[in-house]
């Protein structure tokens, strides 16, 4: 069964029926899901499901749900967190109305992978059975044949049968090669893991090399990160320490995609010969892996990741870090399907921590500890934390020690622990400014709205200004622009000259497009004498958006700008810029002539069948979106990019259409473009000089040309189509404009035939 043929046919049928949005979603959701953009796929899912149900297409519901479940369980390694959704999909896909859907078989992979995350070894036999049952009812013509075969390999590895997994791979390979299905990351990645489990480290590394050489999965950053961690571990095991350290995946990528067990295990190997590198930053990364699996309900993986974390923590004497993760992992023991030695391994780790020597005596009296630590150089957060916890125990009401302990915990990755520690302090003591400030920072980092509300409640009576600021800052942090003003307004009633409140509110109002409010707030700050700078620039943006050109001139003059004499709109020559804007969720860039401090008129045509922007007058934010290149030659050619905040004037032109085909000759093309210009149309040639078009009927290659054309906005697509047919009627070879033909209701099949003939 060719799944993608079914997808293509369904897409075509929906377009023919006029259900264009549902047809778009058929491509959009799997594209985003397979390229690591799961949040975008999930955001579109409710719309897709509603449309599929309205069209009474349950097979499409299976399809859409699979494409949002699969990355969660196969890439993000979610276990119990995804189990309910995965089981629900599996059951839905096996109902009478969906069982024959080509994608229903893929839900077997989803559920097998999810149970592998929950407890890979514990559910290994069940996974093997379900894979065998599924493979027995499909053949290699099914796209999911490879995926189920890969899951079978994974299950055999988790069953501690890696050699059997490799034998199974050898058995399946000829079947996969019949359709070329073996040439995929979805085959080679589990193969590399089986080779690794069998102790064939060199072979496993070679397989990873092959994946990269072939460019498999190059557009899926989360999967690429996981393979990088596996490579790191393999290099460590092969004794290639320098290579491993040099390619160790950076921590910021781990924060973005989730730290991996492979990275922790690789670090444990490398640090045996480099104990001096075993510090709190290592502990932060290994703890992050434990937290990741714990949050996902991946019970076995949580306990597996705990092992290198605790061993490394014990090796560097980091009792607190070890205990934190032991307590986090403990509940997962009871959730394993089968113990398989996990309780004994856990007990061994506990014994290792218990055997650590007691905390050493404080080097100075507890009252001097804060100064001692702050004056130290090259401090280790874990070692400092052990001292600080002892100091806090001696002086539980010392706000300085409480804050330093929180910062040390956060440096070790313990945001939750820092939050609990600070709340404990506040419950027992009068709220100290430093503790409130630190807790607000921790709660903001954790995006803990309930915590922020609780903190504001604690300090509202004693310090209402700080309480309102706390709420306003959190609203800004979470991009709830309207709420910022709701908190800033009563604050300003209490303290009218509060600069931070005005700044926060004006920033949020700008993001909401409330330019009147922005200008009101900033004009008050400017009147109070703030130095010319960012406030003036923000006010210029607001004044430009409102068309207050006299105000723009006055604000610009305060910044040292000079303008041509006159009043009204500013339409001067300030050079060329690039402007960035969003259109139907897609980010686009256009070249524009800068007409004033923050205004520009777009001079480039939009892409084919895109909403037209040429001639638009836009307001942009003056903060550049890119840095000027360091290279002097590149910098001289660099055109700065800015973000559009408002369109002041719409384009006078309609949709752009692509015209493609054999070049008619410079003279003929000039005549054509002259006729277009006489009609007031816009065009731009996009093809390079070496662009070639091959005529499959004569088997002759010709110089080619393709260009965009746009007519005034009130020109119907049918009129554009008719005009182009008239103007190109005498060409030696016909030109092709399929998109225009579709919009004009013209002869689409004629243009599709041209595309096929000339391989356009």
Shared domain for 423 and 469, answered yes or no, is yes
Phi, psi of 469 (to 5 degrees): -60, -40
Of 655 and 201, the one with more pLDDT = 201
CA 717 to CA 731: how far, in whole Å? 22
The pairing of beta strand 657-662 with beta strand 700-710: antiparallel
Residue 54 located in a structural domain: no
Residues whose CB is less than 8 angstroms from the CB of residue 283 and which lie 6 or more positions away in sequence, other chains included: 309, 312, 313, 316, 318, 321, 382, 412, 413
Shared domain for 507 and 642, answered yes or no, is no
CA 266 to CA 229: how far, in whole Å? 8
Where does the pLDDT of residue 710 fall: very low under 50, low under 70, confident under 90, or very high at 90 and above?
very high
Shared domain for 494 and 638, answered yes or no, is no
DSSP 175-211: HHHTTTTTSSHHHHHHHHHHHHHTT-HHHHHHHHHHH
DSSP 102: G
Q: 602: left (phi > 0), else alpha (psi -120 to 50), else beta?
A: beta
Domains of the chain: total:
3
Across the range 348-366, mean pLDDT stands at 91
Residue 416 located in a structural domain: yes
8 A C-beta contact, residue 306 and residue 329? yes
**686 has a pLDDT exceeding 90:** no
- Per-residue confidence (pLDDT) for residue 446, from 0 to 100: 93
Residue 233 located in a structural domain: no
- Per-residue confidence (pLDDT) for residue 560, from 0 to 100: 94
Per-residue tokens: 499? 């600069």
8 A C-beta contact, residue 599 and residue 618? yes
Residue 538 located in a structural domain: no
Q: Whose CA is closest to 518, among 490, 485, 550, 473?
A: 485
8 A C-beta contact, residue 225 and residue 288? no
**586 has a pLDDT exceeding 80:** no
pLDDT over 70 for what percent of the chain?
99
- Per-residue confidence (pLDDT) for residue 67, from 0 to 100: 94
Q: Give pLDDT tens digits for 39-55.
A: 999 999 999 999 999 99
| Boundary-marking domain end, from 649, 666, 682 | 649
- Per-residue confidence (pLDDT) for residue 2, from 0 to 100: 67
Q: Give pLDDT tens digits for 272-316.
A: 999 999 999 999 999 999 999 999 999 999 999 999 999 999 999
Domain ranges, residue 607: 576-649
Residue 522 located in a structural domain: yes
- Per-residue confidence (pLDDT) for residue 360, from 0 to 100: 73
**464 has a pLDDT exceeding 60:** yes
Shared domain for 501 and 375, answered yes or no, is yes
Residue 539 located in a structural domain: no
Shared domain for 587 and 618, answered yes or no, is yes
Lowest-confidence region among 78-87, 130-139, 232-241, 568-577: 130-139
**1 has a pLDDT exceeding 70:** no
CA 421 to CA 451: how far, in whole Å? 13
Per-residue tokens: 35? 């390229």
| Boundary-marking domain end, from 600, 628, 649 | 649
CA 748 to CA 756: how far, in whole Å? 12
Shared domain for 411 and 476, answered yes or no, is yes
Where does the pLDDT of residue 5 fall: very low under 50, low under 70, confident under 90, or very high at 90 and above?
confident
State the chain's mean pLDDT as an integer: 93
Q: 328: left (phi > 0), else alpha (psi -120 to 50), else beta?
A: alpha
Q: Give pLDDT tens digits for 496-510.
A: 989 999 999 999 999
- Per-residue confidence (pLDDT) for residue 429, from 0 to 100: 93
Where does the pLDDT of residue 138 fall: very low under 50, low under 70, confident under 90, or very high at 90 and above?
confident
CB atoms within 10 A of CB 758: 21
Shared domain for 687 and 667, answered yes or no, is yes
Shared domain for 395 and 417, answered yes or no, is yes
Shared domain for 625 and 680, answered yes or no, is no
The residues facing 410 across adjacent strands are none
Residue 261 located in a structural domain: no
- Per-residue confidence (pLDDT) for residue 87, from 0 to 100: 94
Distances (CA, A) of 270 to 229, 240, 618: 13, 9, 55
8 A C-beta contact, residue 649 and residue 643? no
Domain harbouring 496, CATH code: 1.25.40.10
| Boundary-marking domain end, from 629, 649, 669 | 649
- Per-residue confidence (pLDDT) for residue 15, from 0 to 100: 85
The pairing of beta strand 641-649 with beta strand 700-710: unpaired
Q: SS3 for 577-622, per residue? A: EEEEEEECCEEEEEEEEECCCCEEEECCCCCCCCCCCCCCEEEEEC
**61 has a pLDDT exceeding 80:** yes
Shared domain for 519 and 622, answered yes or no, is no
Q: Give pLDDT tens digits for 207-219.
A: 999 999 988 866 7
**83 has a pLDDT exceeding 90:** yes
3 state DSSP class of 664: coil
Q: Give pLDDT tens digits for 145-192.
A: 888 999 999 999 999 999 999 999 999 999 888 888 778 888 999 999
The residues facing 702 across adjacent strands are 693
Shared domain for 509 and 388, answered yes or no, is yes
Per-residue tokens: 394? 């001696």
Distances (CA, A) of 573 to 82, 546, 570, 595, 613: 57, 21, 10, 5, 19
CA 368 to CA 570: how far, in whole Å? 62
Shared domain for 387 and 512, answered yes or no, is yes
The pairing of beta strand 641-649 with beta strand 692-695: unpaired
Domain harbouring 706, CATH code: 3.30.70
Enumerate the H helices of 638-681 as residue ranges.
Answer: 666-678
Residue 504 located in a structural domain: yes
- Per-residue confidence (pLDDT) for residue 545, from 0 to 100: 96
């Amino acid at each position: 069964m060719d799944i993608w043929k079914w997808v293509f046919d369904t897409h075509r049928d929906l377009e023919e029926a006029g259900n264009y949005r549902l047809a778009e979603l058929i491509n959009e959701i799997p594209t985003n899901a397979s390229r690591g953009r799961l949040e975008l796929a999930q955001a579109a899912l409710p719309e897709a499901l509603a449309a599929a149900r309205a069209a009474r297409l349950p097979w499409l519901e299976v399809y859409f749900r699979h494409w949002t479940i699969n990355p969660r369980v196969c890439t993000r390694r979610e276990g119990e967190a995804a189990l309910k959704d995965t089981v629900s999909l599996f059951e839905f896909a096996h109902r009478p109305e969906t069982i024959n859907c080509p994608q229903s078989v893929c839900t077997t992979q989803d559920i097998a992978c999810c149970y592998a995350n929950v407890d890979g070894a514990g559910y290994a036999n069940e996974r093997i059975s379900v894979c065998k049952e599924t493979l027995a009812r499909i053949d290699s013509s099914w796209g999911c044949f490879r995926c189920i075969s890969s899951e079978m390999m994974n299950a055999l590895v988790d069953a501690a049968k890696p050699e059997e997994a490799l034998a199974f791979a050898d058995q399946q390979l000829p079947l996969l090669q019949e359709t070329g299905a073996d040439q995929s990351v979805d085959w080679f990645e589990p193969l590399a893991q089986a080779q690794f489990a069998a102790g064939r480290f060199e072979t496993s590394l070679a397989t990873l090399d092959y994946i990269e050489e072939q460019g498999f999965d190059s557009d899926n950053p989360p999967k690429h990160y996981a393979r990088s961690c596996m490579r790191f571990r393999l290099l460590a095991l092969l004794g290639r320490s320098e290579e491993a350290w040099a390619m160790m995946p950076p921590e910021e990528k781990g924060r973005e995609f989730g730290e991996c067990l492979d990275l922790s295990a690789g670090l444990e190997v490398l640090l045996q010969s480099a104990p001096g590198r075993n510090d709190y930053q290592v502990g932060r990364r290994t703890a992050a892996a434990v937290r990741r699996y714990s949050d996902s309900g991946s019970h076995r993986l949580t306990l597996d990741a705990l092992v290198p974390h605790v061993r490394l923590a014990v090796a560097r004497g980091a009792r607190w870090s070890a205990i934190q993760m032991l307590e986090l992992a403990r509940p997962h023991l009871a959730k394993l399907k089968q113990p398989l030695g996990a309780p004994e391994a856990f007990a061994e780790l506990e014994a290792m921590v218990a055997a650590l020597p007691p905390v050493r005596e404080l080097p100075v009296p507890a009252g001097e500890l804060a100064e001692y630590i702050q004056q130290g150089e090259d401090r280790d957060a874990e070692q400092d934390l052990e001292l600080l916890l002892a100091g806090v125990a001696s002086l539980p009401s010392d706000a300085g020690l409480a804050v330093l302990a929180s910062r040390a915990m956060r440096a070790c990755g313990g945001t939750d622990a820092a939050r609990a520690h600070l709340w404990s302090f506040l419950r027992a003591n009068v709220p100290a400014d430093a503790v409130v400030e630190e807790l607000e920072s921790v709660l903001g980092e954790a995006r803990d709205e309930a915590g922020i509300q609780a903190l504001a409640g604690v300090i509202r009576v004693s310090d209402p200004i700080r309480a309102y600021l706390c709420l306003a800052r959190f609203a800004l942090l979470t991009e709830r622009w309207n709420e910022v003003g709701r908190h800033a307004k009563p604050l300003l009633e209490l303290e009218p000259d509060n600069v931070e409140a005005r700044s926060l509110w004006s920033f949020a109002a700008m993001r909401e497009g409330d330019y009147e409010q922005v200008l009101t707030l900033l004009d008050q700050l400017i009147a109070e004498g703030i130095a010319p700078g960012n406030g003036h620039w923000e006010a210029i943006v607001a004044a430009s958006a409102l068309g207050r050109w006299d105000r723009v001139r006055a604000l610009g003059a305060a910044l040292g700008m000079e303008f041509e004499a006159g009043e009204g709109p500013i339409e001067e020559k300030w050079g060329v810029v690039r402007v960035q804007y969003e259109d139907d969720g897609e980010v686009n860039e256009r070249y524009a002539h800068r007409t004033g401090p923050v205004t520009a008129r777009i001079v480039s045509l939009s892409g084919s069948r895109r909403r037209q922007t040429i001639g638009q007058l836009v307001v942009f934010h003056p903060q550049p979106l890119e840095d000027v290149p360091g290279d002097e030659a590149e910098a001289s050619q660099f055109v700065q990019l800015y973000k559009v905040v408002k369109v002041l004037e719409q384009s006078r032109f309609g949709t752009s259409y692509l015209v493609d085909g054999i070049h008619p000759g410079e003279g003929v093309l000039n005549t054509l473009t002259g006729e277009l210009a006489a009609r007031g149309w816009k065009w731009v040639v996009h093809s390079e000089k070496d662009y070639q078009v091959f005529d499959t009927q004569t088997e002759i290659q010709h110089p080619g040309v393709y260009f965009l054309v746009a007519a005034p906005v009130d020109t119907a697509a049918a009129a554009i189509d008719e005009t182009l047919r008239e103007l190109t009627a005498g060409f030696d070879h016909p030109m092709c404009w399929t998109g225009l033909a579709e919009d004009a209701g013209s002869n689409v099949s004629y243009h599709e035939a041209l595309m096929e003939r000339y391989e356009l």
